[in-house]
Structure 1
Amino acid sequence: MESLLDRAGGPGLLFDRDRASPDDRSIQVAEVDAALPLWIVGDLHGDLLALEAALAAIAQETPGSGAEQPRIVFLGDLFDDEGFGLETLLRVFELILQAPERICVIAGNHDVALSYDGVRFASSVSPADFADFLNAHLSHEWMERTGKLAVRFFATAPRALFLPDGLLIAHAGFPLGDLHERLEGSGDWNDPACLADFTWTRAHPTARRKLPNRFSRGSQFGYQDFAAFCDLAARMGRPVTHMVRGHDHIEERYAIPPAYRARPLLTTVALSRRLPRETFGPHERTPTLARFVEGSLPQVHRLHIPAALVDAIFPDASAEDSAVAKPSPGACP
């Protein structure tokens, strides 16, 4: 991966050829061959099990070899929230090395939050257990190099893809209303504030509008906010009619809010278990991935992983705690 990133002309990842410059992270894609499968994998957060299930499903849906082989866009957030962050990161790197022209990784907020000051790793988001893991293994040269590579890789990774059929692909959202006048005046889609909104904002499922909150990075948007952005993007020569994103950990692992029917929105995440910060719902979940359909929202595929396998790979700590606390039958109170 170090050699790939050092390569003259860049690593040659999927859609890199559409970058306006090497530093372009808000990419306007010129053409997408609808005959070639394009898959979208949402947040993983160290869920190596869901990643392998997604890859198996993609392989099953894509018979043959050669030019028909699938292309994959990852929506970011590869680590944190316990799980197998290192292994998931390395597995994605392995996919890139096998065929860089078929893989695109969009940076998520946990990915860009990771930093390295030359001595220790840190993160500006919580939970940040991947940074803690790297710091606990600083004496291991390969661990340190992997962490530094992750910081370098995500620093230049795309924050958004504008596809020619009107599909916007991002980890989280889009530049909110208070940035529209500035964006339209400058034409700078790589304005740091715009890149941050692609990476950090959250979708409200029913609200018409939400006021941007620049005192935190967790601003929400509503369906009229998305419609206003679509109008702006069209005026600026980047028509947007629908969107696919991750970021929000929906219990069903995907959502298409009815309020957004005029400008449809799909949220998809690939998580097979309840994260430690998710309070409600079953421990075992049904992760999703999506397949690009030209002119429409991507088609959602659900990955039905056996519950016993999820429990074996990701033991339910809350259930174990309950079992310890629960008195045995016949025990004295």
Structure 2
Amino acid sequence: MQDTLDVVEVEGLDWQAVRNAVSPSSIRANMRSTVERMEALLDRADGPGMLFDNDRADPADKVIQVSAVDAASQLWIVGDLHGDLLALEAALATMRDPAGQASDEKPRIVFLGDLFDDEGFGLEVLLRVFELIADAPDRVCLIAGNHDEALSYDGVRFASSVAPSDFVDFLNANLAHEWIERAGKLAVRLFARAPRALFFPDGLLLAHGGFPLVDLHPRLAETGDWNDPMCLSDFVWTRAHPKARKKLPNRFSRGSQYGYEDFAAFCSLSGGLGRPVTHMVRGHDHVEERYAFYPAYRAHPVLTTVALSRRLSRENFGSYERVPTIVQFVEGALPRVYRLHIPADIIRGVYPEPAPGRLESETI
């Protein structure tokens, strides 16, 4: 495994076309059709047939051992979006034209979760991802993030077990709107069945957060049950410490971290269970550069990628405009990182910087 990343600076896209594609009104105008298509897909007796579904050990398997990756078709990985419709459209434009040669082939995409919350355009990002899935379900895989997994519906109202949870507030404020309510219910259904991790044959692990921590290793070694609820939770909720050797699991606050020796221990365990792991790509941590490659994890590299073009309200430092990243799968190597240099005036045009003490808000 190489010690450095291949980083591509994406500056020459038609940024005005990207800006024009950010059309919340158009997405909402198609909401009924989009929701009905997704409902029909999830209602299929044999399942929706999404990317890597054929590799599930059974329909309930959420920790998928991928049998093979088609090297002839590009595979892209998109980290946290949190309502960032601009970053999503920039990512899709990059996938269509990664090397100045536009292609009509629909990209294969793995989303690492956290589609909503943190203001922005949570509904529109959700609907846009629904559109991508409905158009080509076998080319999209959606891994659940902590904000996605936290969303629930009790038959009357939506709720969330994580903060911020402004998307739930938005859904509950629009319960009288049939198609918004149905979109929210669809999200709950979709993420309930979504995978929590993908194990690739070249040793790549994809998850939103991390991996089962050291206190779960003895039981996992004994049972081989990757779908144990505590294991599933760790794939979603755990965070990478950039320098620590080891961290004690902290399950009371869902704030468990891991260090590089913890990841090495997991790689050893996983290999013994027939799922060799050499490196990992994840989201979850909103690093300022929107990607992070930790030198301490040199033996077993970890790459964090998030697709956020703006500073979130809960981020206290750094410039308002950010450079979102997406990554491209490279078999047997670390993924290639694409930094999407969206012009600052476009970012501020889509997301005006809130005045101090005020948050962005979604409106119908």
For normalisation by structure 1, the TM-score amounts to 0.94
Q: 1:84 aligned to 121, 134, 152, which one?
A: 121
Deviation at 1:208, TM superposition (A): 0.3
Residues 162-201 of structure 1 show CA distances to partners (whole Å, capped at 9, x for unaligned) of 0000000000000000000011111110000000000000
- Give me the CA root mean square deviation: 1.1
Distance 1:65 1:306 in 2: 26
Query: Which residue of 2 is the match for residue 156 of structure 1?
Result: 193
1:290 match: secondary structure: strand
1:286 match: secondary structure: coil
Deviation at 1:320, TM superposition (A): 9.3
1:132 match: secondary structure: helix
The answer as to whether partners of 1:173 and 1:198 remain within 8 angstroms in 2 is yes
2:97 match: secondary structure: helix
Query: Which residue of 2 is the match for residue 64 of structure 1?
Result: 103
The answer as to whether partners of 1:13 and 1:100 remain within 8 angstroms in 2 is yes
| Residue 185 (structure 1) aligned with residue 222 (structure 2) | yes
Residues 41-68 of structure 1 show CA distances to partners (whole Å, capped at 9, x for unaligned) of 00000000000000000001263335xx
Deviation at 1:317, TM superposition (A): 1.1
Read off the aligned partner of 2:204 and give its amino acid letter.
Answer: L
1:317 match: secondary structure: coil
Distance 1:313 1:319 in 2: 18
Query: Which residue of 1 is the match for residue 158 of structure 2?
Result: 121
Query: Which residue of 2 is the match for residue 263 of structure 1?
Result: 300
| Residue 215 (structure 1) aligned with residue 215 (structure 2) | no
Deviation at 1:311, TM superposition (A): 0.7
Query: Which residue of 2 is the match for residue 32 of structure 1?
Result: 69
Unaligned runs of at least 5 residues, structure 1: 322-333
Distance 2:201 2:330 in 1: 12
Query: Which residue of 1 is the match for residue 237 of structure 2?
Result: 200
| Residue 142 (structure 1) aligned with residue 179 (structure 2) | yes
The answer as to whether partners of 1:209 and 1:225 remain within 8 angstroms in 2 is yes
1:89 match: secondary structure: helix
Identity %: 72
1:178 match: secondary structure: helix
Distance 1:56 1:319 in 2: 33
What is the correspondence of 1:280-291 to structure 2 with a 5 Å cutoff?
280-291=317-328
Distance 2:171 2:281 in 1: 31
Read off the aligned partner of 1:223 and give its amino acid letter.
Answer: Y
| Residue 75 (structure 1) aligned with residue 112 (structure 2) | yes
Deviation at 1:296, TM superposition (A): 1.1
The answer as to whether partners of 1:77 and 1:111 remain within 8 angstroms in 2 is yes
Residues 218-258 of structure 1 show CA distances to partners (whole Å, capped at 9, x for unaligned) of 10000000000000000000000000000000000000000
Distance 1:297 1:277 in 2: 30
| Residue 14 (structure 1) aligned with residue 56 (structure 2) | no
Distance 2:300 2:73 in 1: 25
Deviation at 1:35, TM superposition (A): 2.0
Deviation at 1:315, TM superposition (A): 1.0
The answer as to whether partners of 1:44 and 1:78 remain within 8 angstroms in 2 is yes
Residues 270-321 of structure 1 show CA distances to partners (whole Å, capped at 9, x for unaligned) of 0000000000000000000000001111110000101011111111114697
Distance 2:356 2:215 in 1: 45
Deviation at 1:143, TM superposition (A): 1.1
The answer as to whether partners of 1:121 and 1:134 remain within 8 angstroms in 2 is yes
2:303 match: secondary structure: strand
May I ask how many residue pairs the two structures share in their alignment?
Answer: 319
1:229 match: secondary structure: helix
2:188 match: secondary structure: helix
Asked which structure has the greater RCO (Cα within 8 Å, sep 6+), the reply is: 2
Read off the aligned partner of 2:313 and give its amino acid letter.
Answer: P
What is the correspondence of 1:75-114 to structure 2 with a 5 Å cutoff?
75-114=112-151
